Amino acid sequence: MAAASDRELKKGNAELLILALLEERARHGYEIGKLIAERSEGVLRFYVASLYPLLYRLERRGWVRGEWEPSAGRRRRYYRLTPTGRKILAEQRSRWRAFSGAVNRIVEVRHA
């Protein structure tokens, strides 16, 4: 049950996580996967099999742009946010803050 709800939570917010990570700078797929696991301290772990289709979908929508760049003697595909992607990120982030704030206000209240 807990695993299922985690999965739903991740699925709903996967786009937000990726867009947020790309806000700082361009990143490749492997790095995105590692960063999500690291920054969430292992709570969120992306299946690689889901990550790449998601990146391709964001790219098709025009929210991110992928480009091949040299990196440590090899070629990697780096993804960066487009202006549309930034706008969507701002909207999604604002919605997330409102939602998580509301949930926190309820969940964190303790009975005196």
Toward another protein, which CB reaches closer, 25 or 45? 45
Chain residues in the site for another protein (CB under 8 A): 28-30, 33, 47-50, 52-57, 60-61, 68, 74-77, 88, 91-92
Phi, psi dihedrals of residue 99, rounded to the nearest 5°: -70, -50
Nearest distance in Å: CB 38, another protein: 13
Nearest distance in Å: CB 43, another protein: 19
Maximum distance among all alpha carbons in the chain? 61
Residue 42 tokens, joined: 């292992």
Toward another protein, which CB reaches closer, 56 or 99? 56
Nearest distance in Å: CB 83, another protein: 14
Tracing tokens 């700078």 back to the chain, one arrives at 25
Toward another protein, which CB reaches closer, 34 or 39? 34
Toward another protein, which CB reaches closer, 6 or 67? 67
Nearest distance in Å: CB 101, another protein: 20
